Amino acid sequence: MKRFIVSFGLAILFAACSGDNVCSVDKPIASDSSSSVAPVSSSNDVVKSSSSNDVVESSSSNDVVESSSSADALPDTVLVDERDGQTYRIVKIGDQTWMAENLNYETESSFCYNDSTEYCETYGRLYTWAAAVGKSEKECGSSLCGLPRRNVQGVCPDGWHLPSHEEMDDFVYTVGKFPLVTAIIKSRTGWDDGSNGTDDYGFSALPAGFRNIVGGYAGKNSTYFWMAEEDRQETAYKMGVIDGDPTATWGSDNKKLAFSVRCIKDKELTLKDWSWDVPKDVRLNPDVAYDSVKDSRDGNVYKTVKIGDKVWMAQNLNYADSVKTPSLKGASWCIDNDTANCNVAGRLYYWEAAVQGACLDGWHLPTKEEWSALIDTLGGAVSAGKRLKSITGWDKNGNGVDDFGFSALPAGKASSAPFYGLSFRDDGVGTLFWSSTEGDDVGAYGVSLWNYSDVADLDYFFKDLGSSVRCVKDSE
């Protein structure tokens, strides 16, 4: 997943709690991609809403901020929020459709800058993170909320949602010239001291400021947008634009701060990209003749396929009975703790659980050597990843050819750390399969696959990563 480098300006500004009670824990996040996408010059796309919030023709020319004609800005369409009748310009940036104005829907724990409704009319409302994700302060203000990382509607209108960390990543990379993106997304008017932007894509970021944790207002020549992802119990992620800093700031902040909200339109479900709503059998290669095996312990049935001289499960293990298999207790999970997700892509296991009897009778966790032999059969590590990956489900054009029917899914990973708790990541973009071969006290070998690469990487990984399991049949 692409991540961003946080600007030194914000790191200095937020190194400690300031007088405005902004206590940021921004930190560098490594990037795995240096590519960028040129601005879309077409204006032929018409956004059609499938929700009850209509996108309608607008004859108004009274927009607060002028948008650039070089973007696919949909200048003649607006979103009508049927909850209160307010309208918002919308803009298409890459394959995403964004509100081109800050949300101004009144709800609990939302505020107007300086408690002035005039500010809300221009800059939208400021929301605590709990309000932004549609929860109460008691539920999510100072504790882990455990929300899914995709399509959190929160305070947004029907058919729209609070952007995920990944969606915000994609947005910044799409506008390009990373990390010098603030001038591109800032509005052409409204910023102090000649620091207005070029607004190349019509996103029109305004200096909305923020509300601090004691009820004061500050940062009027800056703006921050919440994302739908927590960092710790009391912090969540946001993206910021600060006057005088050419880089987009990236990090986490106290959930009780009130920032702006920009909603992004839900995408229609397609097989091409990842969705937990697509049944697991749909991801199999229809041109491969699969066999199957039934797990007598719980009745689950898995497709199997012979590759070389070995028979492999063609679907991820989904065994969870910690009574029959005590090593599984507290050591395997479904993504987002949703059991329905396990029915799609199996469970995620710590290595200790995977290696101690997780596989069904007559099958075993493959050794490092068995994984290496499989990779060699598929032409070597450089190309084996593409041949192992399923033909649908990998985001950002990362699908494989799956010509042997292994049908690896981007099931993601689970990890835990002090103060952070259990977290899930990388579904849609990556997966890791355990081997039974131990490296040392803290690590073991496994195979990782990513949407951005054709490589099958057989390497050493920490044992406390929750990862997928594919079992291989015992030799007769």
CA distance linking residue 464 with residue 350, whole number of Å: 5
The predicted pLDDT at position 41 comes to: 31
Element (H, E) at 168: helix 165-175
Question: Could you write out the three-class secondary structure of 309-324?
Answer: CEEEECCCCCCCCCCC
pLDDT of residue 179: 59
CA distance 403 to 451: 17
First-to-final CA distance of the chain: 41
Tell me, yes or no, if the pTM score tops 0.75: no
- From CA 226, how far away is CA 264, in angstroms rounded? 12
Distance CA 58, CA 74 (A): 10
Neighbours of 52 (CB within 10 A): 12
Nearest to 465 by CA among 444, 450, 438, 436: 444
Please tell me the predicted confidence (pLDDT) of residue 177.
Answer: 65
What's residue 270's pLDDT? 79
How many alpha carbons fall within 13 Å on the CB side of residue 444? 25
Query: What is the residue-level pLDDT of the chain in tens, covering all 476 positions?
Result: 443 333 333 333 333 333 343 433 332 222 333 332 233 333 332 233 334 444 443 333 333 333 333 445 455 589 999 999 999 999 999 989 999 999 999 999 999 999 999 999 999 999 999 999 999 999 999 888 878 878 999 999 999 999 998 899 889 888 876 557 888 999 999 888 778 989 999 999 999 999 999 999 999 889 999 999 998 889 999 999 988 788 888 899 999 999 999 999 998 877 888 999 999 999 999 999 999 999 999 999 999 999 999 999 999 999 998 888 898 898 999 998 999 999 999 999 999 999 999 999 999 999 999 999 999 999 999 999 999 999 999 998 999 999 999 999 999 999 987 666 788 989 999 999 999 999 999 999 999 999 999 999 999 999 999 999 999 999 98
| The pLDDT of residue 51 | 40
pLDDT at residue 176 in the model: 74
Distance CA 310, CA 370 (A): 9
